[in-house]
């Protein structure tokens, strides 16, 4: 086949229009089930387990590999679709059951599941893949650890179609953790054929050549430019995708991405800034879908190692002095869920995130501050990462303005993304910072585990509260219908409201702009494109 | 003979420069704030997982040991592996450098084709209409930031008029790149006799190249004008005119040839800052070039990629200066005689 006509021939019979050099509206060309997606991120590996694989690359794991389980999908009030954490559904596993004592889960694999090369998916493939996630270390290992998987001996291939995980402690996080992007199942026979002594886990091979059985295969990958997915006609773990081909192009410039979607030259512009989302809401040709990001909060974190913030009243004064509505309007462009102005200091339910009972009241802030040793105010630098400057910069400026009125003199510090982690989260040495942690597993205790326990990564405030520690330790493995679960979570939220090691600003949204005729777009906790359910309206 | 020894001397002189660049780029990347291991460990990493990554990247060794290892790799042509793109730096550079060079060369060509005639015309009639128009164009071109010019052109020719193709990089999604020989799509597609891909690549190139050309036109046009005015006012031109030579011969043979020397020098400079200005144009047009590669590498503390980029640029400029020196000897016979 002539190289040039490669794509054209793929368009079944060669559309006449495809002979034009600059075909307009290719995404919507008749009878052609092809989506063109633009994103700003750049895929740096096709292997999610590899060291250094970045976030945008997780979409490859989502679209190209299968996991044992997945999550259900719900339709929201506005008609958009979002994953439903409470419903774990089969993907590669046909069914599963927990042992009586909760210390193991046994999965039956689909009898008809095959990899792309036609070989059967076996329990040994699952075991090998999970062991690989632990062996390669880094992020996959810590994410597996969140589900209680820390030792390869916990993974047992009982027979060809039966796989069991043994748990040291029963935990409600174990099953859902097998539905996150890192828990992929790899074709172990194919991978092992390409492994070497120096590279026993075939990292060099899988980095460029996925070996799975998922809904899409990678047709081509031009690093820094594009990835092209072609659908797997033999996929059995779900309905075969409607899209024959999905092209994801990397376009760094926001303005260019916006022009492309507005002109109708691409099908979907994934993860657009709030400003564009707001502007495009009224556009006739473009549909904007925004979903609140589950278990994610944009917060202001006062660091408890910074002298004035040791006093709880100073932290509360901050919370009373923030210009919440302005922040929401000007930094979030009104998109998101407000998390201020709640009714009561004792939470009524365990919904999370939920509004804290603070609102803008400068007199109250001044009064609180006057009770402390810092009645005259103090100087403090406020830091944010350039990675989230789109909302961090306006938010920081507004906070600076507002705190000046209660005598707190704020200077702004922008920190490059590469340094942010080390300074803010690992060394935890910023006195006052903006933070945006969101947990993949959608339960409040999971959020509290990462953000409120001493030493844990996202607790950038150095918060340390033995009661919180005890509560989280007890609640984390507990099933959500356990009698103690709701009271424990309510207590955690009450402590968080009173102690304010993190001051919630708003819950952010993930927005995407898409062609009017695109249907099936789903929001997922991993915040990546799931191309499998995309389809054009008839 | 003298010319060859001149070139050999220049090459010998550039060796210490290159070694210096290697040392400095190594030290500077290490001095960058930021910790690549922590950056690539991902959002929920533990101190142990960061340490594992640091070890696997070889960053837990002492600086001299890392430097020696780097030199050893360099000697075998191995520039290391970029952690942010996941590819070997050499293959990254081999695919991205031609993209940037193709864009820069085309931009310079457009720039020369417009700026030199404009400069000559402006010099023959200082403060005339052509001179004023040129002055306006080049002032506008150089004073508008390139990303702005780029976005403006995109807005008009792509968004409003629909004449330009989607700004999706080097080729529209309908096409596959031609077989790589030079890495320049225009050249490769011609070599393959594939005119349709040539046209497609040219269409993608047009707007970014014009954007960059607008930016580079100013110094060339101004320098041509100034050099031509100086040349036209000189005594040998008066002599030539007095001898009754045709106007055309006076202008192009005597004046232009002498005026070209400073223009060539300027061209070298313009080329270097055009490569720098590339970054912004690349971002706007999703151009997979070397400028955006370097910036992204810098942001993520991607040592190998930054070092590879700096080294490549150093080699490129040494070569460029050499070429300009050689060009000088061709244009100005005095240089060859003196040396």
* Whether A382 contacts A396, CB under 8 Å: yes
**pLDDT level of residue A8 (50, 70, 90 thresholds):** very low
Phi, psi of A7 (to 5 degrees): -70, -35
Query: Which structure tokens are listed for A114?
Result: 């095959």
User: Which of A421, A422, A446, A526 should be substituted to probe chain B, the one whose Cβ sees the most B Cβ atoms within 10 Å?
Assistant: A421
* Whether A396 contacts A384, CB under 8 Å: yes
**CA pair distance A137, A131, nearest whole angstrom:** 10
Q: Domain for residue B84, yes or no?
A: no
Q: Domain for residue B2, yes or no?
A: no
* Residue position matching structure tokens 């009645």: A375
Between the ranges A28-42, A444-458, B4-18, where is the mean pLDDT highest? Answer: A444-458
Q: What is the pLDDT of residue A404?
A: 94
HSE, CB side, 13 Å, CA atoms: give it for residue A327: 32
**CA pair distance B308, B122, nearest whole angstrom:** 43
Q: Does B172 touch chain A (CB under 8 A)?
A: yes
In this structure, the number of other CB atoms found within 10 A of the CB of residue B323 comes to 13
pLDDT digits 0-9 by tens, A192-207: 999 999 889 998 899 9
For A528-536, what is the mean pLDDT?
94
Quick check: bond before B264 cis, omega within 30? no
User: Which of B29, B34, B292 should be substituted to probe chain A, the one whose Cβ sees the most A Cβ atoms within 10 Å?
Assistant: B34
**pLDDT level of residue A300 (50, 70, 90 thresholds):** very high
Q: Domain for residue B13, yes or no?
A: no
Between the ranges A248-257, A292-301, B138-147, where is the mean pLDDT highest? Answer: A292-301
Q: What is the pLDDT of residue B209?
A: 94
* Residues of chain A contacting B41 with CB distance shorter than 8 Å: 138-139, 421
* Secondary structure string (H, E, C) spanning A340-370: CCCCCCCCCCCCCCCCCCCCCCHHHHHHHHH
Q: Domain for residue B23, yes or no?
A: no
User: Which structural domains are found in chain A, ordered by start?
Assistant: 46-215 (3.90.76.10), 297-507 (3.10.105.10)
Q: What is the pLDDT of residue A6?
A: 40
**pLDDT level of residue A15 (50, 70, 90 thresholds):** very low
Whether B87 and A223 lie within 8 Å, measured CB to CB: yes
Query: Residue A308 above 70 pLDDT?
Result: yes
pLDDT digits 0-9 by tens, A129-168: 999 999 987 778 888 988 999 999 999 999 999 999 999 9
Q: Could you give the angle at the alpha carbon of A352 between the alpha carbons of A347 and A357, nearest 5°? A: 40
Q: Does B14 touch chain A (CB under 8 A)?
A: no
Distances (CA, A) of B87 to A46, A207, B60, B91, B305: 11, 9, 22, 7, 10
Compute the nearest-CA separation of B175 from chain A (Å). 6
Range of the domain at B217: 96-291
* Pairing assessment for the beta strands A378-385 and A408-415 based on DSSP bridges: parallel
Rounded (10°) CA dihedral B61, B63, B67, B68? -60
pTM summary value:
0.82
Query: Residue A186 above 60 pLDDT?
Result: yes
**pLDDT level of residue A29 (50, 70, 90 thresholds):** very low
Residue of chain B whose Cα is closest to the Cα of A246: B173
Local structure of A182: helix, strand or coil: coil
**Residues B40-54 as b or e (16 or more Cβ within 10 Å = b):** bbbbbbbeebbebbb
* Residues of chain B contacting A266 with CB distance shorter than 8 Å: 166
Q: Does B146 touch chain A (CB under 8 A)?
A: no
For A434-440, what is the mean pLDDT?
91
Compute the nearest-CA separation of B287 from chain A (Å). 8
Q: Domain for residue B30, yes or no?
A: no
DSSP A238: S
Query: Which structure tokens are listed for B41?
Result: 């460990």
Q: What is the pLDDT of residue B331?
A: 72
pLDDT digits 0-9 by tens, B190-216: 888 888 889 989 999 999 999 999 988
Q: Domain for residue B211, yes or no?
A: yes
- Which residues of chain B have a pLDDT value below 50? 339
The chain-wide mean pLDDT, for chain A, equals 89
For A414-421, what is the mean pLDDT?
80
Q: Does B280 touch chain A (CB under 8 A)?
A: no
Local structure of B272: helix, strand or coil: helix
Q: Domain for residue B55, yes or no?
A: no
Query: Residue A24 above 70 pLDDT?
Result: no
Query: Residue A1 above 50 pLDDT?
Result: no
Residue of chain A whose Cα is closest to the Cα of B147: A253
Q: Does A337 touch chain B (CB under 8 A)?
A: no
**CA pair distance A84, A295, nearest whole angstrom:** 12
In this structure, the number of other CB atoms found within 10 A of the CB of residue B109 comes to 12
Query: Which structure tokens are listed for A369?
Result: 């501050």
Q: Domain for residue B114, yes or no?
A: yes
Whether B49 and A450 lie within 8 Å, measured CB to CB: no
B-proximal residues of A, 395-424, CB under 8 Å: 416-419, 421-422
Q: Which distant-in-sequence residues (6+ apart) come within 8 Å of A438 by Cβ? A: A293, A294, A295, A296, A297, A525
Query: Which structure tokens are listed for A157?
Result: 């291939």
Compute the nearest-CA separation of B12 from chain A (Å). 37
DSSP string, B193-247: T-HHHHHHHHHHHHHHHHHHHHHHHHHHHHHHHHHHHHHHTSHHHHHHHHTT--H
Of B52, B172, B283, nearest to A22 by CB-CB distance is: B172
pLDDT digits 0-9 by tens, A511-530: 999 999 999 999 999 999 99
Q: What is the pLDDT of residue B44?
A: 58
Q: What is the pLDDT of residue B9?
A: 79
Domain count, chain B: 1
Whether A139 and B179 lie within 8 Å, measured CB to CB: no
Report the DSSP beta bridge partners of residue B40.
Answer: none
**pLDDT level of residue A313 (50, 70, 90 thresholds):** very high
pLDDT digits 0-9 by tens, A62-120: 999 999 999 999 998 888 999 999 999 999 999 999 999 989 999 999 999 999 999 99
* Residue position matching structure tokens 């026979």: A189
How long is chain B? 339
**pLDDT level of residue A419 (50, 70, 90 thresholds):** confident
**CA pair distance B306, B298, nearest whole angstrom:** 6
Whether A53 and B86 lie within 8 Å, measured CB to CB: yes
Q: Could you give the angle at the alpha carbon of B131 between the alpha carbons of B125 and B135, nearest 5°? A: 160
How long is chain A? 538
Q: What is the pLDDT of residue A422?
A: 77
pLDDT digits 0-9 by tens, A330-387: 999 999 999 999 988 889 899 999 999 999 999 999 999 999 999 889 999 999 998 8
Whether A259 and B43 lie within 8 Å, measured CB to CB: no
**CA pair distance A239, B25, nearest whole angstrom:** 52
Residue B282 sits in a domain of what CATH number? 1.10.3720.10
**CA pair distance B23, B71, nearest whole angstrom:** 10
For A121-136, what is the mean pLDDT?
95
pLDDT digits 0-9 by tens, A257-292: 999 999 998 999 999 999 999 999 888 889 999 999
* Residues of chain B contacting A8 with CB distance shorter than 8 Å: 174
**pLDDT level of residue A5 (50, 70, 90 thresholds):** very low
A-proximal residues of B, 216-235, CB under 8 Å: none
């Amino acid at each position: 086949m002539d190289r040039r006509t490669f794509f054209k021939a793929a368009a079944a019979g060669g559309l006449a229009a495809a002979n034009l050099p600059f075909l307009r509206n290719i995404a919507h060309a008749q009878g052609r089930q092809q989506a063109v997606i633009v994103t700003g991120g750049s895929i740096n590996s096709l292997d999610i387990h590899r060291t250094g694989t970045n976030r945008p690359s997780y979409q490859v794991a989502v679209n190209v590999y299968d996991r044992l389980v997945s999550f259900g999908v719900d339709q929201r009030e506005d008609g958009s679709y979002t994953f439903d954490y409470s419903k774990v559904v089969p993907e590669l596993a046909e069914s599963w059951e927990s042992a009586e004592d909760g210390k193991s889960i046994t999965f039956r694999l689909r009898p008809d599941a095959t990899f792309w090369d036609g070989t059967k998916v076996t329990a040994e493939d699952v075991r090998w893949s999970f062991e690989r996630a632990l062996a390669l270390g880094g992020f996959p290992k810590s994410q597996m650890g969140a589900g209680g998987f820390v030792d390869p001996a916990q993974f047992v291939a009982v027979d060809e179609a039966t796989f069991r995980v043994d748990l040291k402690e029963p935990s409600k996080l174990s099953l859902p953790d097998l539905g996150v992007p890192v828990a992929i199942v790899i074709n172990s026979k194919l991978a092992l054929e390409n492994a070497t002594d120096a590279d026993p886990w075939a990292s060099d091979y899988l980095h460029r050549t996925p070996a799975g059985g998922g809904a899409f295969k990678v047709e081509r990958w031009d690093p820094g430019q594009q990835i092209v997915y072609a659908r797997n006609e033999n996929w059995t773990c779900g309905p075969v995708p409607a899209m024959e081909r999905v092209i994801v192009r990397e376009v760094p410039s926001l303005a260019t991405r916006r022009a492309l979607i507005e002109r109708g030259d691409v099908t979907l512009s994934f993860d657009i800034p709030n400003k564009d989302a707001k502007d495009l809401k009224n556009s006739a040709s473009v549909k904007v879908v925004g979903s609140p990001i589950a278990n994610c909060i944009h917060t202001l974190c006062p660091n408890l190692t910074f002298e004035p913030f040791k006093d709880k009243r100073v932290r509360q004064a901050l919370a009373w002095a923030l210009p919440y509505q302005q922040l929401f309007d000007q930094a979030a462009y009104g998109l998101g869920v407000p998390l201020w102005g709640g009714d009561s200091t004792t939470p009524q339910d365990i919904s999370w995130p939920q509004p804290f009972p603070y609102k803008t009241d400068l007199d109250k802030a001044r009064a609180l501050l006057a009770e402390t040793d810092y009645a005259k105010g103090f100087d403090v630098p406020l830091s944010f990462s350039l990675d989230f400057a789109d909302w961090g910069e306006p938010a920081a400026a507004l906070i600076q303005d507002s705190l000046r009125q209660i005598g707190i003199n704020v200077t702004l510090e922008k920190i490059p993304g590469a340094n942010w982690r080390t300074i803010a989260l690992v060394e935890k040495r910023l006195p006052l910072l903006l933070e945006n942690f969101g947990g993949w597993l959608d339960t409040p205790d999971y959020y509290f585990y990462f953000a409120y326990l001493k030493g844990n990564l996202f607790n950038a405030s150095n918060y340390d509260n033995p009661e919180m520690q005890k509560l989280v330790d007890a609640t984390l493995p507990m099933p959500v219908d356990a009698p103690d679960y709701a009271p424990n979570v309510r207590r955690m939220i009450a402590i968080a409201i009173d102690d304010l090691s993190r001051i919630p600003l708003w819950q952010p949204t993930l927005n995407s702009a898409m062609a009017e005729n695109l249907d099936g777009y789903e929001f997922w906790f991993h915040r990546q494109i799931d191309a499998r359910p995309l389809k054009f309206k008839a | 003979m003298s010319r060859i020894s001149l070139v050999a001397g220049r090459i010998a002189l550039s060796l210490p420069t290159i070694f210096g660049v290697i040392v400095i780029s190594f030290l500077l990347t290490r001095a960058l704030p930021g910790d690549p291991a922590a950056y690539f460990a991902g959002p929920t990493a533990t101190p142990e997982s960061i340490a594992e990554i640091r070890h696997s990247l070889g960053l837990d060794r002492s600086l001299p040991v890392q430097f020696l290892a780097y030199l050893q790799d360099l000697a075998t042509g191995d520039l290391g592996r970029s952690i942010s793109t996941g590819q070997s730096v050499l293959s990254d550079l081999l695919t991205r450098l031609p993209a940037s060079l193709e864009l820069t060369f085309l931009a310079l060509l457009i720039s020369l084709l417009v700026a030199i005639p404009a400069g000559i015309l402006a010099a023959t009639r200082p403060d005339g209409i052509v001179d004023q128009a040129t002055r306006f164009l080049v002032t506008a071109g150089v004073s508008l930031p390139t990303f702005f010019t780029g976005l403006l052109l995109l807005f008009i020719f792509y968004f409003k008029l629909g004449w330009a193709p989607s700004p999706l990089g080097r080729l529209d999604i309908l096409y596959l790149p031609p077989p790589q020989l030079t890495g320049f799509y225009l050249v490769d597609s011609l070599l393959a006799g594939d005119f349709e891909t040539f046209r497609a690549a040219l269409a993608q190139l047009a707007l970014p190249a014009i954007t960059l050309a607008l930016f580079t036109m100013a110094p060339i046009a101004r320098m041509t004008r100034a050099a031509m005015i100086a040349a036209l006012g000189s005594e040998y031109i008066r002599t030539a005119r007095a001898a009754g030579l045709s106007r055309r011969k006076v202008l192009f043979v005597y004046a232009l040839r002498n005026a070209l020397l400073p223009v060539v020098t300027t061209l070298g400079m313009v080329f270097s800052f055009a490569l720098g200005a590339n970054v912004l144009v690349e971002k706007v047009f999703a151009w997979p070039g070397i400028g955006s590669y370097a910036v992204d590498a810098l942001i993520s503390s991607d040592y190998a990629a930054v070092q590879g980029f700096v080294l490549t640029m150093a080699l490129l400029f040494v070569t460029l200066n050499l070429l300009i020196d050689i060009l000088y000897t061709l244009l100005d016979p005095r240089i060859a005689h003196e040396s």
